[in-house]
Amino acid sequence: MEKMNYFIFYREDDKFDDILSDKNMKKLFGFKLKWKHYLMVGSDKVNNELYSYILLKYGDDMKNMYDIFSDRTPRPFIDYNPDPKRPERFKKL
């Protein structure tokens, strides 16, 4: 199973017709999600050539996923206190 690659695009006019109708991308991206001013597409069939094509053609509209979605993973000793009686073999997990 290959890794799924996601691309997020942002446009103020909320029009992504050129991306969705692009013949090179249309057949590869099965995952499409659209919300206000954003479009997210995903595929597991992205190779280096297609990635370069997307970056060159739509790179100005691309956004980093980590700038949009914040990491809410709990951090030990900040969000919770680990159990001090936890067995030694589980403390590294």
If you average pLDDT over residues 57-77, what whole number do you get?
86
Whole-model pTM? 0.70
Residue pLDDT, tens place only, 4-49:
888 999 999 999 999 999 888 888 888 899 999 999 999 888 888 8
Rounded to the nearest integer, the mean pLDDT of the chain is: 86
Which tokens in the block code for residue 76?
């030990």
The pLDDT, as a whole number, for residue 3 is: 82
> Confidence class of residue 1 from pLDDT cuts 50, 70 and 90?
low
> d(Cα 69, Cα 79) in Å, to the nearest integer?
19
Decide if pLDDT at 79 tops 80: yes
Number of structural domains (the chain) is 1
The residue segments making up the domain with residue 9 are: 1-93
Instruction: Give the CA angle between residues 6, 9, 12 to the nearest 5°.
Output: 160
